[in-house]
Structure 1
Amino acid sequence: MNFQVPDPKRVRVLMNTDAKNEADDQYAIVHALLTPMFMNKGMIAAHFGTARTTESMEESYAEVKHVLSLMGDAGEVPVYKGAPQALQDEQTPVVSEGAEAIIREALLDDSHRLFVVFLGPLTDLASAYLMEPRIADRLTAVWIGGGPYPNGRSEFNLSNDIHAANVVMGSNIPLWQVPQNVYGMMRVSLAELEARVKPHGEIGKYLFDQLIQYNDDPAHGWPRGECWGLGDSPAVSLILDDLEYSDGFVTVPAPRITADMHYVHHQTERLIRVYRNVDVRFTLEDMYAKLELFAKKQAGK
């Protein structure tokens, strides 16, 4: 890319990803790595429950490492192992490399704003906070997860650690939540991805092929044949443009979340940002453009 982002406008980013759960985290990972505004401080591998495997965090870790290996110099960022399982209660952290990385980055004396984005459960953020509460006012968390407001409902990322979500909701950590009905707006067709992603280098081919492999697996009822949801990608685009002047979010009291993933509205002091829209065009076109420019640069080496 033939432009630079002025240093005062750049931000630090840590990404927490359950990358081997489905096939869309990979797109958000690549998008983040190709974004000049981001000072990518690391990737944290997250678990995604035990329904399909007992080694979900390790599988996510291996997938993140593989994606980075296809990115050349752009992929040279640290990768940390997060918690291998959910919190057992709301008082006891799961100590991990990932939680320690969050604490370490948050406590640095650095004027660049820190965003920690979560594409799966909030286990590592809750653990970091329980280990070191001083991090709360030194980062902003962006979470792809939770059911629609005001009532909530079953949602995969939330289901993998309700205790962690309640720890974060009950903390004073600035939180931007992108709930299920909003991240579900990120619809793409497989034809679109074949035309706009697959032609662009080794990483473009991998992004497309691994999604097709997931689609072809008879064990997966989702997606519905020819479409997919890149629901994790707003975690990148909302940092680029938080839609402050576009009526994109509301500020609401943080709820408590029940075991069946419904919201209980019980207080008015602790506020969080809940998104009700994402700019699908901006998100996708920015990713497509950066991927194309990256592939051209790689081919010209």
Structure 2
Amino acid sequence: MDSLPPAPSDARWTLDAPPWLGRTSTPRARVIIDNDFSGDPDDLYQLVHHLLSPSVEIRLVVASHLAPNDPFDDAPDTAANAEAVVRGVFSRMGLESTGIIVRGASAALPGPGRPADSVAARAIIAEAMREDADTPLYYAAGGGLTDLATALLLEPRIATRLTLIWIGGPEHADLAFPPPAAMPIEYNLLIDVEAGRVVMGPLGPTIWQVPRDVYRQCLVSDVELRARVRATGALGAYLYDEVQLVHDRAISERRGPAETYALGDSPLVLLTALQSLFEADPSSSRYSLRPTPELTAEGAYRPVAGARPMRVYTRVDVRLMFEDFYLKLREFSRWQEGQG
């Protein structure tokens, strides 16, 4: 690998000028990241990967809430905890662009058609309604959809100004089977079913969905994480340790051990930052195109003839996705530790 510019003693940087690249990047798309960062640590891998991807401009990082009594974090305000986690990641990376971090609502929508107003929802509206940007806007959501649903309820015009890429929702019956002992309502949808109903409803945005059967494809092995993540600087060690905490808890609860972990939020990076150069699209992944279904209160799909089309991804390019992450992490860590 080519040598990198040496890092300053405190290794500080901003998103508009990643110093290890040695050149100016020109993003081809804007991205709003929305994730429940105090939950499953797969979102930390996705966040770091996105922040290290120069082809997209990260406009907001929305720290969103979990479902009540979530086993990862059962605190009263998981959105506040999520924000603290994001700020901790930025600090570990020496990333000074903290102005993009916004906190979402602390709980789900209070009822049908009723928004849960938040700083994040207002920021989403402001970004979507900009008239001074001509790059496409992707809303990359790896958890619940409360803040996007609220933004849609407050300003319905944003539906035509962004594309939602969502890690969530159950299998589609004609495409895949649910896993053994599947949750009655898929994990991310369970965070706020009513928000999912708003977003998938007739006034929602264009959707690219990565349902449960597909995000479960994103398996990495423990030896892979040890060799490619833990051994890659302080940031890599932190990311690895966060996954190990989950493995250790699973063992204590007699649900482990396992030699794999699903980094299920990583397709958010694959489908936005790793599109083809010509005729831009996530061309190495596969999807089915179908009318956007209605979501029932029980979290199931109800077909709607003639509804706007949505992509339902059936396979994602895990080789490209994970190799890109490992190498970007290595490149960044070498710069951060002054090994260029």
Partner of 1:67: 89
| Maintained 8 Å contact 2:275/2:283 | no
| Maintained 8 Å contact 2:35/2:43 | yes
Partner of 1:17: 35
| Maintained 8 Å contact 1:45/1:79 | yes
CA distance in 1, matches of 2:145, 2:224: 31
Partner of 1:143: 166
Structure 1 gap segments, 5+ residues each = none
**Counterpart check, 1:208 vs 2:249:** no
How far is 1:154 from its partner? Answer: 2.5
**Counterpart check, 1:97 vs 2:131:** no
CA distance in 1, matches of 2:190, 2:214: 17
Partner of 2:304: 266
**Counterpart check, 1:117 vs 2:103:** no
In structure 2, relative to structure 1, the CA distance for the partners of 1:195 and 1:81 (3 Å cut) is same
Q: Deviations over 1:29-49 (max 9, x none)?
A: 000000011111121111111
How far is 1:73 from its partner? Answer: 3.0
Partner of 2:263: 230
Partner of 1:57: 79
| Maintained 8 Å contact 1:69/1:75 | no
Partner of 1:163: 194
Amino acid at match of 2:337: A
- Range 217-226 or range 136-145, more displaced: 217-226
**Counterpart check, 1:292 vs 2:297:** no
CA distance in 1, matches of 2:329, 2:142: 20
How far is 1:245 from its partner? Answer: 4.4
Equivalent residue runs for 1:76-95 within 5 Å: 76-95=98-117
Amino acid at match of 1:14: I
| Maintained 8 Å contact 1:40/1:77 | no
Structure 2 gap segments, 5+ residues each = 1-19, 179-183
- Range 52-61 or range 117-126, more displaced: 52-61
| Maintained 8 Å contact 1:119/1:143 | yes
In structure 2, relative to structure 1, the CA distance for the partners of 1:41 and 1:92 (3 Å cut) is same
SS where residue 217 of structure 1 aligns? helix
TM-score using structure 2 length: 0.82
CA distance in 2, matches of 1:185, 1:221: 23
Aligned counterpart in structure 1 of residue 48 of structure 2, from 30, 54, 61: 30
Q: How many residues align?
A: 300
In structure 2, relative to structure 1, the CA distance for the partners of 1:263 and 1:222 (3 Å cut) is farther
Q: What is the CA RMSD across the aligned residues, in angstroms?
A: 2.1
How far is 1:247 from its partner? Answer: 6.4
Residue identity over aligned pairs, in percent, reads 37
In structure 2, relative to structure 1, the CA distance for the partners of 1:63 and 1:246 (3 Å cut) is closer
Rg larger in 1 or in 2? Answer: 2
CA distance in 2, matches of 1:299, 1:75: 20
**Counterpart check, 1:217 vs 2:249:** yes
| Maintained 8 Å contact 1:4/1:36 | no
In structure 2, relative to structure 1, the CA distance for the partners of 1:32 and 1:221 (3 Å cut) is farther
CA distance in 2, matches of 1:73, 1:244: 28
In structure 2, relative to structure 1, the CA distance for the partners of 1:120 and 1:34 (3 Å cut) is same
